[in-house]
Each structure stands twice: as C-alpha cells, then as structure tokens.
Amino acid sequence: MSKDIITLAHGNGGLLTHTLIEQVFAAAFANPILDLQGDSALIGLESGAAVFTTDSFVIKPLFFPGGDIGKLAVAGTVNDLAVAGAVPRYLSASFIIEEGLPINELKTIVASMQRTARQAGVVIVAGDTKVVEKGGADKLFITTSGIGTRIHETQEFTPANMRAGDCVLLSGTIGDHAIAVLSARGEYPLKINIQSDCACLNDLTCKLLRAVPAESIRIMRDPTRGGLATTLNEFAKGGRYAIEIEESEIPCKQEVQAVCELTGFDPLYLANEGKLVLVCASEHSSTLLEIMRAHPLAKAAACIGRITDNSFKKVVLKTTVGGTRIVDMLAGEMLPRIC
Amino acid sequence: MSKDIITLAHGNGGLLTHTLIEQVFAAAFANPILDLQGDSALIGLESGAAVFTTDSFVIKPLFFPGGDIGKLAVAGTVNDLAVAGAVPRYLSASFIIEEGLPINELKTIVASMQRTARQAGVVIVAGDTKVVEKGGADKLFITTSGIGTRIHETQEFTPANMRAGDCVLLSGTIGDHAIAVLSARGEYPLKINIQSDCACLNDLTCKLLRAVPAESIRIMRDPTRGGLATTLNEFAKGGRYAIEIEESEIPCKQEVQAVCELTGFDPLYLANEGKLVLVCASEHSSTLLEIMRAHPLAKAAACIGRITDNSFKKVVLKTTVGGTRIVDMLAGEMLPRIC
C-alpha cells in the first residue's frame, strides 16, 4: 500500500526518485529532449527574440470542474507566452509534493499536463521533484516555466503602445474559473454548474497576430488573478490615457452573476484562466472580433470599451443603469489559492 | 504590524501583490528586462544550442551556516546549467510563500539571490509570487528556472562518452552542505562548525571547458541530493563500464566524518551544493586538476578514481582498509528538505 503514495524517500534524489521520474514523469512526458535525462535540457532556438516566463500553481482543490492543477499549470504558462506574442516552445515543470499524495492522483495530473501541452504544441523538456513532510505543503504545488519565440520579432506589447480611440476586446465571459473553483471547494451551499475556462490561448493569439499589421495589436493579456479589472488597471497605469468600459458589453454568464449576487463577489475581479483581453487599433477591431468569434475559445468575444483621450490613467466603468464609476485594482483579499 | 508580514492579500494579484513586487522583488532584482514588468520577459539569445533547467527549493530551515534558500535557489540552477557546459544567462524565480512570513526575511533572502546572481553573471528576468494560508506551506519555497548558452555548441555531456581509463575528478570535500543544514536544524545535540559549500560553479566549469579539447571532459555533474554515490551511479548506469573509486582519495572534512560516525550517515550519500564531479580523458586530468586547485572553490580537488574496462556498470569503492564494496544508489530516506 505504501507503494501507492508519495513518501519522503521519493524525494531523496536516489533510487525512489529515479523510479518516480521513470514511471510517472518520463513515461508521460516522453520526448527526445527529456529522454536524455540530464540535469538540463538541450533546446534549439532560432536567434533573436525569445520570451521567458514562470508561474507557480497552488490551486485548491487539485481537481475542479473543467480542469485540474496540471492543465492549469501548462495553460497558465502557455498563455503568458501567447499574450507576449510568442509561439510557446518549451516548458519546464517542477513539483513540490506533500508526503502522502496518492501516486494515481499525480499520474492523472501529469497525464493532464501532457495532454494540454500536446494540444498547445509545446514540449515539457525539464523538471524537478521535491517531497516535503506531511503538513509541510498542501498536497501538490506545480511551477512551470516557458520559453517561446516571438511571431513579430521586434514588437513589444506594452501599455505605452495604446492610442486614444483604440478598442478593448475581450474574448468571452468573465469569472468562470473562480466560480468553478469556488463550487469545487464546497464552502458555499450552492448548486453551481460552471466549468472553469482553463485553456491554452496560443492558437487564438497566433491567428490574431497573423491577421493584422504588426503594430495594430497594442497589448494583450490573460486576466487571471485579480480579474479583468486588475488587468485593465495595469494597462491604464502603464499607458497615457483612461480606459472606458461598458458594463453592458462585458460577457458574463447568468450563473456567475447569480453567485456573485449571493456571495458579494464582483465578477470584474474574479480570476479567468482562458480569456484574452487586448487593445487594438480601432480600424482592425472588426477583423479581430470576427476571428475571435470563429474560434472555439472566443465565441462570445466583444468590444467592451475604448481608450479615451483623457490623460486620467484610470479605468472608468459605464454601468448598465447609466452611471459611471472608477474601477480600481483589487485591494483586499479575494479568493486565495485560485490558481 | 500586519504590514510587516505576508498576508493572503499579497497573493491576490491586485494592489498588494503589485506593492510587494515593486518593494521587494523589482527593487532588488532591477534590470532592464525585468523592469518592463510584462507577464513574460523578452530575452536575447544567439541561435544554436541553449540549455534549459528548473529546480524547486524547499530547504528547512531557510537560513543555515554558509547560505540561505535564496543563495541556494540561484546557485542550484546556475550549477545545473554550468555542468551542462553552458554559460548561465537568464533566471526566473517563483515564490510560494506561507502567510505570516516576515517581509524582512523575504527581503534578506531576495537580496541574497540578487547577490548570488550578480556574482554568477546571470540576470533574474521573470518571476511569480503565490501566497498560501498558514499551514498550507512551510514558510517559503522557491523555484528557479534557468537558460544558458553552451560553450562548445555541439558537445553533449552524457555518461556514454566515458572511456576505460578516464579519470574521475572531484572538486573538494563532500557532505558539508548536508551537515551544515543538519546543525542548523538543531535536532542533534552536537556542536558542529561546518559551513554549507553552497556556491555557483559556472566560473570554474567555464575555465575547465576552455582549457582542454572539447571532448576531453566527458561529463560533469554537481552531486546534490543523493550525494556523490548517487551521481556516480547515474554515470555508471548511463555508461558502459564500472567506476572504481578510492575511499582514501575522497576529500571529507574531519568534522563531517565525526558527525557521520555519530549519526550513522554515510558521507557518500550526503548532499553537496558547491561541488563538481567530472570524468575526463586521463591525459588531461593533471591540467584540469591544476586549474581546479588554483580556483577558490576547488582547492581540495582530487582524482578519486577511474573508469575501468569492466562492463559491470556499477560503482566500486576500494576502502581505506583494503576491501572492496559496491556503492549503490541511495535507497531509503536520508535527510528530507536538504535543498
């Protein structure tokens, strides 16, 4: 029976670590680079501009409607590369495991990572495993890092690119991920039927970047922790203008709205894991919206607002009832361990 | 007072996360790439062979004689790149923080990372921070990933390169890191005065690689978790011959030996964090040893053994008393959370 759970000896760097690597990780992630099993992976990259990113995932619970920590760990890092205008190429994955984790759970998660990576066209080429004693961690944390190569080699996506009159496009409904995780925690006595939107956005961003002139997409971001409101605030803070968004144009599922009304959460601050927000030159917004709506991950895409010629550097929400309010960055505690 | 410790709100992705990033991470790691503060870092790489690696660090306690988790997290990943024959170029650093960690401790650790990175000539260009609730993790875990560019572009360091007659060189004393951490834990009522050997090996490996023909260094490794015995077993398992080592030639401090005698640990299996073991063509061993002994990190370097023409694929130890024993990979649990 003890063979079926992770023990401290699986983290000693010796025989059991090797067995775990071979039977769980190497078996699932098999590829010519990883198979060399050096301490480092040899990767080929064209010269020029590469993109490098990292993210840790501490989501609780490990499994939730629409995904699991493994899918999330791959998609999250793929998306950071995608919104930097890059084609994701190589991932590393490092596991911090609490003693006692069933090996079958780990296998399921690792299989989910491999499936997600394959779909996104990235390979997992490097990894590490550490085991901590019971109570020293909560089941499993995964850190992924990623390397991508840029589609337009010289383009930098920064808020400084934004111009007055630019459009703000959002690829779909907000808050799905947070509410799905909330429901999986069972802390609220609610029957919620929402799936996390956890998905890899790189196919979508590639299609968008290739459809319009290089500079017409000013900036892209996936609004995860802190939600759409925080991402838009980052845009506004780094740019030179105010961003005006229309509450009525922001897609949000009825069930999500209903849970928010009951719990007091604001969907604008809820985490998403498969949504794209971008600012583009207005003359290309209809082309981009068309491509989005034809893509399975962005059917509900909408133009939700504009960059104004006001040098206020804030996010202003025009509410459905005709009012106006300033939307700040998330200030207090929201939902811990949402990603 | 609550401002001086990490709270869950520091991990919400909003205002406090931004404050933490600006006041702790961005302030310490400041460099032109990181300063752009995108979700990904734009890095420049020559075309050709890059090396990519990752490691998580869960060491307990966070501070120990000779180092801390920050120094270790940088040196560990730098060393994985160094022993792959690469010049370390870019690092990412991801932090999983338990609620309640004093911000001053975090600042000290981050400063230590920056100091170590600067000494090694790498820049920390990407990062992430997650906060988990009290009891959900143990103070702080750090995951670093690294990208390097290879010195000899086409050379692969694998055990398959080893030839009968090759020499095994070790850069210094074994077991220092493990015993230093053991003493910091205070679990044994011992007065131990050992410093961890935690250090970046890339300057040393660069000098060695540039001093001899490309193929004459067959393989290099830093014997961390699992110790020298496990590393040599990995070499033997991946090669075609037995490795014969001389117990009397393996440098080990008297204090480390004394603690091992009292506690029952075998220094061959104890973790090191600043030692290099390499296999080289015998005709270049004296040149390499000379360079090592002239380097501050390898003054006690020694030739500790040979690759034999025996196809046994095991590690054989010739003991000081004239006996012979097979040294296997570490089998049971050793010292958890040693790195």
The chain-wide mean pLDDT, for chain A, equals 94
How far A144 CA lies from chain B's nearest CA (Å)?
Answer: 9
- Please name the member of B42, B83, B150 whose beta carbon is closest to the beta carbon of A49: B42
- Measuring CA to CA, which residue among A259, A202, A249, A203 is closest to residue A228? A249
Residue A46's pLDDT is 76
Rounded to the nearest angstrom, the minimum Cα separation between A192 and chain B is 23
pLDDT at B42 (0 to 100): 86
CB atoms within 10 A of CB B158: 15
What are B232-290's pLDDT values in tens digits?
999 999 999 999 999 999 999 999 999 999 989 999 999 999 999 999 999 999 999 99
When scoring A33, A36, A52, A132 by the number of chain B Cβ atoms within 10 A, the one with the most, hence best to mutate, is: A52
Going from the C-alpha of A140 to that of each of A61, A95, A243, A251, B59, the distances in angstroms are 10, 7, 39, 33, 16
The ipTM, to two decimals, is 0.96
Asked if pLDDT for residue B1 goes beyond 50, the answer is: no
Instruction: Using an 8 Å CB-CB cutoff, list chain A residues near B11.
Output: 225, 336
CA atoms of A294 and A299, how far apart (whole Å): 6
| Owner of token pair 């609220």 | A188
**Cα B153 from chain centroid (whole Å):** 23
pLDDT tens for residues B58-90? Answer: 999 999 999 999 999 999 999 999 999 999 999
> B45 contacts in A (CB within 8 Å)?
45, 47-48, 50
Instruction: Tell me, yes or no, if the pTM score tops 0.95.
Output: yes
Mean pLDDT of chain B: 94
Q: Is the peptide bond before B61 cis (omega within 30 degrees of 0)?
A: yes
In the structure, what pLDDT confidence band is assigned to residue B165 with cuts at 50, 70 and 90?
A: very high
User: How far from B144 is each of A59, B3, B229, B243, CA to CA, in Å?
Assistant: 19, 27, 25, 32
Chain A interface mutation, best of B6, B12, B80, highest count of A Cβ atoms under 10 Å: B12
What is the set of domains in chain B, with CATH numbers? 2-150 (3.30.1330.10), 159-327 (3.90.650.10)
Mean pLDDT of the A8-34 span: 92
Residue B2 has pLDDT above 70, yes or no: no
DSSP alpha helices (H): ranges in A152-201?
A: 176-185
Element holding B76 (H helix, E strand): helix B69-82
- Chain A positions touching B7 (Cβ under 8 A) are 333
Give the Å distances, CA to CA, from A192 to A71, A254, B40. Answer: 21, 11, 34
Tell me the one-letter amino acid at A225: R
Residue from B18, B36, B39, B144 whose CB has the most chain A CBs within 10 Å, to mutate: B39
- pLDDT, position B3: 65
Say if residue A211's pLDDT is above 50: yes
d(CA B329, CA B324): 16
From chain A, pick out residues whose CB is under 8 angstroms from the CB of B336. 8, 11-12, 131-133
